[in-house]
Chain A
Amino acid sequence: MLDTLRQIETPEGVFLRLRAAGALPRAQAWTIDFVLRMVVLSAAMIPLSLLGSAGMGVGALLMFVLMWAYAVVCEVWFGGQTLGKRAMGLRVVSADGAPVTLVPSVLRNLLRVVDILPGVYAVGLASTLIDPYGRRLGDVIAGTLVIHGGELPAGSQVPTAAPVAPPPGLAADEHAVIVEFAERCAQLTPQRQQELADLLQPLTGCTGEAGVQRLLGYANWLLGRA
């Protein structure tokens, strides 16, 4: 399976489909976080350095907080998102899709020490490539998952056409495919529309523009337009 969907059955009996995030957006989020932390640290060090030796102590504490506590605090108290993850639309959740709690968050961030080996996240990268849900070692052991936050569908409308009843015997997901084709039509060039519609020639019985129109007709019928 190339699909990184993780299905979770909720207590209500519906399936949540979480889209696991791969290495690239996560690396981008990490980079944003890294830059932010560096900026905060340097900005704080300027006034602190004027305080002399005690300021250095506070600086060391700040560095500690940024290095070890920042991610945990963000994940546990701010909805599983560090600022970088927020910018990339990522979110840390526990394996059952619920918000991540303190102990798993601590664990996944401590085990970053191993994932970062040998300095360039090679272990973590290998792990995200092997794991079906793109988890690094820390995520696997902490039982957490980084997912893409749900983005809204485009809100595209099916173009109006004279409704035509599709041949009987189609399954529910096949109905959905026809409607989705119609919804996406506006984003496709006519050539691509026809190319896709030709694949359904055995169903529609016609090719080219007529095939597209036939599918739009089916979609309008399926949507319940009179």
Chain B
Amino acid sequence: MKQERFVALHREEWSELQRWLDLVDTKQRQALRDPRANNFPVEYRRLCHHLALARARGYSREVTDRLQRMVQQGHRLLYRPPAPRWHRALVFLIAGFPRLVRSEWRCMAAAAVLFFAPALFCLIALQFHPEWAHSIFGSAQLAEFEKMYDPARDRIGRSSGTDMAMFGTYVMNNVSIAFRTFASGLVLGVGAVYVLAANGVIIGGVAGHLTQMGYGGPFWRFVAAHAAFELTALVIAGGAGLRLGLTLLAPGRQRRGPAMVAAGWIGAQLALGAFAMLLIAAAIEAFWSSIAWFPDVLKFGSAALLWLLVLGWLWRGGAQAQAEGGDGA
């Protein structure tokens, strides 16, 4: 069949479909309620057939490009992924995420060591060599920390600002740090190692310095509760970054490309989980940790509970479904 006859035969059909596809792009709801929507898969396959014919018969770009554009539009519509559902997000957070963390336990353990080893070292070393604090922080920073955790204040852990202000700041800062830790793992893991160790030194240094100078009370009362979520999330983000870097270095029995895609897929999910944890941590830090007048029992009791909750969740979460050979998602 010659090109012009082919176009004349099907022009009507194409422009109708094109009109509906354009409607989908602008008013999706209305377009999908239209009775035409039921016919779409059939019409789309017919269109694909026309495109294949047009190409095989050597029709010009005026025809093939137009058809290809419509097929592309249709492909996007027909093969669009299902809309993200809240239920799946919840299942992921409760079961899928801890399972993923456990399956990557080697990287997680390495990240935990990279973070907690320098932190503990600084914490202990500063008890015996208080002057070392000055090699980690500047004097202005030390003064700021001392002001934040002054036992005489009614709000601890901040120099100024309301709960809401601090919540915003914590979300912005902590999540950005976690995301950067993860992403910088791509640079052969160097970024993640650096961020983890540096944060270990800083957090250990602050803790050591304040404990040594007798401000340990307010400090530990402040950090104990939200640290359960915050430090674990940082370690998980770092672990995901390490995984990315290690895969780049040693992809194992796969080609590097597919191995990186797989590692990236896992890493992004871990980063999303860490993001959720950091939101919780920021809420606790802003609205609970800062209240100074709670008795120690309440403060440390709640902190112990949260640590148990987080570790228990990471240790057992989703284990049931896994044992039953459940959804594995």
- The verdict on A120 contacting chain B, using a C-beta distance below 8 Å, is no
B76 touches which of A63, A99, A112, A174 (Cβ 8 Å): A99
Let me know if A14 and B66 touch, CB within 8 A: no
Let me know if B165 and A97 touch, CB within 8 A: no
Let me know if A174 and B58 touch, CB within 8 A: yes
Given A14-B52, A110-B268, check contact A173 B58 (CB 8 Å).
Answer: yes
- The verdict on A101 contacting chain B, using a C-beta distance below 8 Å, is yes
- The verdict on B326 contacting chain A, using a C-beta distance below 8 Å, is no
List of B residues within 8 angstroms of A17 by Cβ:
68
Let me know if A60 and B267 touch, CB within 8 A: no
B65-78 CB mask vs A (1 if < 8 Å, else 0) is 11011011101100
Give the Cβ gap from B184 to chain A, nearest Cβ, in Å: 6
List CB contacts (< 8 Å) of A65-116 with chain B: 67-68, 76, 79, 93, 96-99, 101-104, 106-107, 110-114
How distant is the Cα of A153 from the Cα of B69 in the complex, in angstroms?
9
Let me know if A104 and B165 touch, CB within 8 A: no
- The verdict on A2 contacting chain B, using a C-beta distance below 8 Å, is no
List residues of A whose CB falls within 8 A of some B CB: 10-18, 52-61, 63-64, 67-68, 76, 79, 93, 96-99, 101-104, 106-107, 110-114, 117, 137, 140-143, 150-156, 171-176, 179-180, 183, 222-225
List residues of B whose CB falls within 8 A of some A CB: 1-5, 25, 44-45, 48-49, 51-52, 55-62, 64-66, 68-69, 71-73, 75-76, 79-81, 84, 160-169, 171-172, 175-176, 179-180, 182-184, 186-187, 191, 244, 257, 260-261, 263-265, 267-269, 271-272
Give the Cβ gap from B100 to chain A, nearest Cβ, in Å: 12
With CB as the reference atom, state the residue of chain B lying closest to A171.
B58
Q: List 19 A-B contacts (CB under 8 A).
A: A16-B68, A54-B162, A56-B161, A56-B165, A56-B168, A58-B168, A60-B168, A61-B171, A64-B168, A99-B80, A103-B269, A104-B265, A106-B268, A110-B183, A111-B186, A150-B68, A176-B58, A180-B61, A224-B1
How distant is the Cα of A55 from the Cα of B166 in the complex, in angstroms?
11
List of A residues within 8 angstroms of B45 by Cβ:
12
Given A113-B180, A140-B260, A222-B3, check contact A106 B271 (CB 8 Å).
Answer: yes
List of B residues within 8 angstroms of A99 by Cβ:
76, 79-81
Let me know if B264 and A107 touch, CB within 8 A: yes
Query: How many A-B Cβ pairs are below 8 Å?
Result: 181
Let me know if A110 and B179 touch, CB within 8 A: yes
Let me know if A152 and B69 touch, CB within 8 A: yes
Give the Cβ gap from B21 to chain A, nearest Cβ, in Å: 11
Let me know if A67 and B84 touch, CB within 8 A: no
With CB as the reference atom, state the residue of chain A lying closest to B60.
A179
Let me know if B268 and A104 touch, CB within 8 A: yes
Let me know if B184 and A113 touch, CB within 8 A: yes
Let me know if A141 and B261 touch, CB within 8 A: yes
Given A98-B80, A141-B260, check contact A224 B271 (CB 8 Å).
Answer: no
Let me know if B69 and A150 touch, CB within 8 A: yes
